[in-house]
Structure 1
Amino acid sequence: MKKLTTVFIISVTIAFAFILWGVISPKNLAENTSEIQTFITEQFGWFYLLAASGFLLFCIYLIFSRYGKIKLGKDEDEPEYNYLTWFAFLFTAGMGIGLVFWGVAEPMYHFYTPPTGDPQTPSAAGVALRYSFFHWGFHPWAIYTIVGLTLAYFKFRIGAPGVISATLEPLFGEKVHGALGKTTDVIAVFATIFGVATSLGFGTAQIAGGISHLTTIENTFGTQIIIIIVITFLYMLSSQTGLDRGIKILSKTNVYLAIGLMLFMLFSGPTNFIMDAFTQTVGTYIQNLVGMSFRLDPFNTETNWVQSWTVFYWAWWIAWAPFVGSFIARVSKGRTIREFVIGVLAVPTLFGALWFTIFGGTAISLDLFHNMGIMDIINEQGMEIALFAVLQTFNFGKTMSLIAILLIGSFFITSADSATYVLAMQTTNGSLNPPNSVKFVWGIIQSAAAAVLLWSGGLAALQTASIIAAFPFAIIMIVMIFSLVKALNKEKKVKRVKVS
């Protein structure tokens, strides 16, 4: 291993201390993170909503701005990857594992406990899908866009190191090479560890739930630990092959498996209902986008629905932003700002909307029109069973459930593989080809963090950790926007001078 950076040493020390805390006193860890989460969501929910909406508005501005034709690289650079590979990278690194976990569970929860109106009604069904679109649509991808675009611009256009702190140099100058920059990078690494650990925990629970649903093996913490160990071995093996082999091949495989599973459900399920629901929900999503973006429900103090869902999601996406943004930046060299923003915002949002309509819409249809009791199964066996409960109601359900487990495992490997790459890059001063030894260390830490969080408080502790990690990084993202705009304005002024 080459000389270790200060960011690497500090980040590993903090991560190790956190994991040790969870091993020695898991109950204390769960209690403390829960208290911090409650404080943040109650006092700063408004901040998350304003920040996320501001990020989306800035992305829309960039599409139509004079900066749209600027390349993320030199003027002569061309994209490294074709559109299919690029979109595969976006989807699998961005939220693939989360879509599989929540594709059925979230619409069903909203259907039975809607943010407004009476539950288990046709109106509640429409609201359930609309909010699922909202939570996985333009806002989260705008968050990823901000980080990815800023990193790609400074790395490939300016030639700066591929770390978060380097994007702040137009505002803070040489200070980014000192304590300010190191603190920024450590926060980004911390957010990545626990943002990724959240989804790895969801994936572990769902794989264990699927195996339990199909076999006699119980979904216990012991089972989940075995899954984490196996998956860790596989993604560590994949991470040693590099970006253009392991991650690229797995990303394409994920897309093919996901599309195959979607097509099976689309044509096995209520096809006409699904397409009608998709068409209508796209319209209501766009129609109600502004209202949902700023809804906090302060006049109804008896509910914390927005804090439990929307605020949590915005925090979750922000926690994932250093990881996903860094990865998207790495694979986007040569694209224009306009092409980047439209691609990252539109394509994954459309795919996510289809996914939720096909799986969530089918589940709602089964309960609303056929009294199949999907929600009863979820309540009895856990939300990780939701997808398998729906698949089992159709022919070849067991086979498709096995494919779903394979897809979750593949997403798990790809997400963790990508995250080890990004963590290694962020802690080696932005190296595009970080040492395998550094990737190995971060791979072990990621898995250990996921295991400890599952042990100390299950999925609730995973959620609280991501919200806590996201708060300081949201502030950094706002500063990144001002820094990017300053750099873009400087570039335009230089070009005008050269022309004149």
Structure 2
Amino acid sequence: MRSTDPEDHDAAVPPENDPHVIERESYGGTRRSPEREARLARRDAERPPRDQEELQHRGPTDLAESGPRLNRLVFGVSSAVILAFSLWAIFLPDNAQNTMAAIVDWIAENVGWFYVLTVTVVIGFVIKVAVSKEGSVRIGPDHSRPEYKLFTWVAMLFAAGVGIDMLFYSVTGPITQYVEPVNEAPRSLEALREAVVWTMFHYGIVGWSMYSLLGMAMGYFAYRWGMPLSIRAALYPLFGKRIRGVAGDVIDIFALVGTVMGVATSMGIGVVLLSTGIATLIPGLSDGIGLQVSLVIVAVVLTVAATRSGVDKGIRIVSELNLWSAGAMMLYILVFGHTSFLLNGFVENVGRFLWTTPQRLMQTMVYEDGGSAWMGKWTLFFWAFWLAWGPFVGLFLARISRGRTLREFVIAAITVPVLCDFVIVSLFGNSAIFEVLSGNEKFAQLAMEFPERGWYALLEMFPGATILIILATISGLLFYLTSANSGAMVMSNFSSSIPDPSEDGAKWLRVFWSLLTALLTCAMLLAGGVTTMEYATLIFALPVTIIAWLVMASFSKALAMERAAREGGALPRTPRSSAPGGREPERSWRQRLASMRAYPSKQTVRKFVDSTVEPALDEVAAEFRRHGLTAELATATGSTAGSVDPAAVTSRTLVVTMQDDRSFHYQVAAVQRPVPTFGGRQSQEEHYYRLEVFTQTGSAGYDVFGLTAQQIIDDVLDHYEGHLMFLQHASATEASTVLTPPADGAAAV
């Protein structure tokens, strides 16, 4: 009978004959011929990552850059496309407008279904991620936490993803859908019920689902696996190292051009609306193209000034001001407007939206007379608008969302800003509908033919109209500045190669894109105004639909790796007295009491690492090597997690190489924490140190200070056994095992 004692077993069965060792060599053994190794090396050079280990170690290496630099190909091609389009619109405005109108008609007739299908699948995908167990995965290491407070974060979400165009369409949209509906009798009761809901639908969950998809994908690969914050990095699991070349440049060009078109469209609609407001406030000032171009110039100057302050100052401050001003404007309309009608309408609008959205999502108006033309002007335009804005807003949201879980990110993005959208659309839309129902036909025609005038005409009907118009104009200006400011930052990032996701593109590059976007905005104003902007958005957003499908496929592969790691780690393993790997090792009651009252200093922790942790890891590493595995113990100075003094304590990382599969990492690193003041605790020090265990995805969340060498060895083996179970489960479920954090685990720290 085989002995259960580990030492007896080691003595009785040599490693080379141990069936457990032979089985595990399928994960990490070294018995391969040189010819096979050469073939594998050639194949591995270009293939996509197969598991989180490769995503961790190959990704940052394959996509590594020497530092922030201009991507000349992306910058040059994108600039040339935008400049050529702008010159075409300026010098041949009629030709540009007619050509784009023909292209849009063709898209609406032949490709509209693809837009509809894409956004529907995107919504289903992000909701599935949020409700799945993988929704608890963080945009960053497991131990990371949000950088911004909830209010500031929500304000930045709202302000970046909501443009001034929503104010523009909040009046003309409901009135048009009531007076000239596509699938109901004009001015019927059903058309009245549907009027505001259609605009809520166009400004609802679809856009924020697109932002969520691209934002969480880019943030996940950047902050969890140490890759650049870019679209191409989010596609690394599909294309591997090849995404760094021409394929990645093409994707970045499409994303950048679509972003510029989307931002320019919002800016163009914004200046049309703002010029009307300013002309209303200043008697004698003529509203027209001259004032609109002047506003573009003024706005660019303010945007350039704001972009120089970065996210933490300019964008954050303007975002919070934007939210407060929008809230004040809505409160004014609710209090001084038809309050009961507005509140009743809001409740019914939201209920009808929730009930009918699944049906609307797949509605292509194929059976309605003039359905394709209506889709091109309304639903397809808005879907293209959100697709064009997707990379822009997604990158910005990822930039501000490090440390949040995927579930938190998605739920917040598709609820809080969407609810704000609903409030704005419902209050403005129902106020406008009330006027039409009261018989104000002149207002109805004005709102449909000249939306910007209709919006301000509505504001003039409220008591204290001048105050409301000033407040609305300020709110619109803040919407405009926030989108332009964050847009310039994102454009500079898309046209650069930036290895560190916390950095942004060069300031001069932000200024350049601000100026080029302004030129494009003026060009489209000259070539037909808002209609031309709608055409351009619908056309240039088409390639972004392909990017959305690729991102979903790539992110699905990464989440499958997360799922395999979670399920594999939960499989039954060899029982022993301590808790399973991934949970804190079992301590004696004396050790538990001592740890509750211990707040060790830097010097104490350093001594413990030298006297206990390092010898224990050395011993277990030697045993791994005796069993034919490649094991190394690395010492790193300056990787102290969460410490303000990076060189305070050196970390120890045990790495067992598994070749084609994810290697095993067990890192012990010091984390600085403030000394608590509760319980009458008196201490001369403000901080103490915890020795936490880190795997490739972050901290396991427990402290090993005070354990014996044997307890640390047991904890290593628990983690190693869990790692083998993960590899076994990944193989059984045909899931990849390798993505790729940094080689020494430092990025996770």
Match of 2:103 among 16, 28, 36: 36
Q: Is the 8 A contact 2:113 2:364 kept in 1?
A: yes
2:41 maps to: none
Amino acid at match of 1:471: L
Deviation at residue 435 of structure 1 after TM alignment: 1.3
Contact preservation (8 Å) 2:108, 2:375: no
Q: Does 1:117 pair with 2:184?
A: yes
Separation of aligned partners in 1, 2:517 and 2:309:
19
2:210 matched to 1:143? yes
Q: Does 1:489 align with 2:555?
A: no
Aligned residue pair count: 499
CA contact (8 A) 1:162 1:426 kept: no
Paired residue secondary structure (2:98): helix
Q: CA deviation at 1:302?
A: 3.4
SS of residue paired to 1:114: coil
By how many angstroms is 1:106 displaced?
A: 1.1
Q: 2:267 aligned with 1:200, yes or no?
A: yes
1:438 to 509, 512, 516: 509
> 1:119, CA displacement in angstroms?
2.4
Q: CA deviation at 1:19?
A: 2.0
**One-letter amino acid matched to 1:310:** T
Aligned-pair distance for 1:425?
Answer: 1.0
Match of 2:433 among 357, 364, 368: 364
- 2:302: which partner in 1? 234
TM-score normalised by L of structure 1: 0.96
Give the CA deviation at 1:3.
4.8
CA contact (8 A) 1:133 1:285 kept: yes
The AA in structure 2 aligned to 1:460 is T
CA distance in 2: counterparts of 1:184 and 1:358, whole angstroms:
39
With 328-337 and 37-46 compared, the bigger mean Cα shift is at 37-46
Deviations 1:377-434 (A, max 9, x none): 3256x11122211111111112211111111111111110000000111111246222
Q: CA deviation at 1:296?
A: 1.4
Which whole-Å CA distance do the structure 2 matches of 1:41 and 1:484 have between them? Answer: 29
Q: Is the 8 A contact 2:163 2:266 kept in 1?
A: no
2:355 corresponds, among 272, 287, 293, to 287
Segments of structure 2 that go 5 or more residues without pairing to the other structure are 1-66, 570-718, 726-749
Q: Check conservation: 2:175, 2:448, Cα contact below 8 A.
A: no
Whichever structure has more strand as a proportion of its residues is 2
Q: Using CA pairs below 8 Å that are at least 6 residues apart, which structure has the higher relative contact order? A: 1
Task: Report the counterpart of residue 422 of structure 2 in structure 1.
Answer: 353
Post-superposition Cα deviations, 1:249-275, rounded to whole Å, max 9, x if no partner, equal: 100001000000000001111111111
Tell me what 1:310 maps to.
Answer: 379
- The answer to whether structure 1 residue 17 and structure 2 residue 84 are counterparts is yes
1:418-429 matches, cutoff 5 A: 418-429=486-497
State the 1:289 CA deviation.
1.2
Deviations along 1:220-273, whole A, 9 cap, x unmatched? 111111110011101111111111111111000010000000000011111111
The structure that is helix-richer by fraction is 1
Letter in 1 for 2:217: T
Asked if structure 2 preserves the Cα contact closer than 8 Å seen for 1:120 and 1:368, the reply is no
Mapped to 2, the partners of 1:37 and 1:379 lie a distance apart of 21
For the pair shown, the structure with the greater C-alpha radius of gyration is 2
> What is the RMSD of the two structures over their aligned residues, measured on CA atoms?
1.7
TM-superposition CA deviations, 1:72-107 (whole Å, max 9, x none): 001111111111111111111112312222222211
User: 2:332 — aligned with what?
Assistant: 264
Return 5+ residue gaps in structure 1 as ranges.
none
1:68 aligned onto 2:152: no
Tell me, what secondary structure is at the counterpart of 1:127?
A: helix
Asked if the contact 1:239–1:420 (Cα under 8 Å) also holds between the matched residues in 2, the reply is: yes
- Greater shift, 206-215 or 445-454, is seen at 206-215
Between 1:51-60 and 1:371-380, the stretch displaced more is 371-380
Q: Distance in 1 between matches of 2:69 and 2:461?
A: 56
Q: Is residue 469 from structure 1 mapped to residue 536 from structure 2 by the alignment?
A: no
| 2:474 alignment partner, one of 386, 400, 406 | 406
Tell me which residue corresponds to 1:456: 527
- The CA distance in 1 between the partners of 2:368 and 2:558, in whole Å, is 44
In the TM superposition, what whole-angstrom CA distance separates every residue of 1:423-460 from its partner, at most 9, and x where no partner exists? Answer: 11111124622211111111101111111111112111
Distance 1:31 1:158 in 2: 47
- The whole-number CA distance in structure 1 between the counterparts of 2:139 and 2:351 is 33
Which of 443, 447, 450 is the aligned partner of 2:518? Answer: 447
1:297 aligns with 2:365: yes
Q: Counterparts of 1:379 and 1:75 in 2: how far apart (Å)?
A: 52
TM, length-normalised to structure 2: 0.65
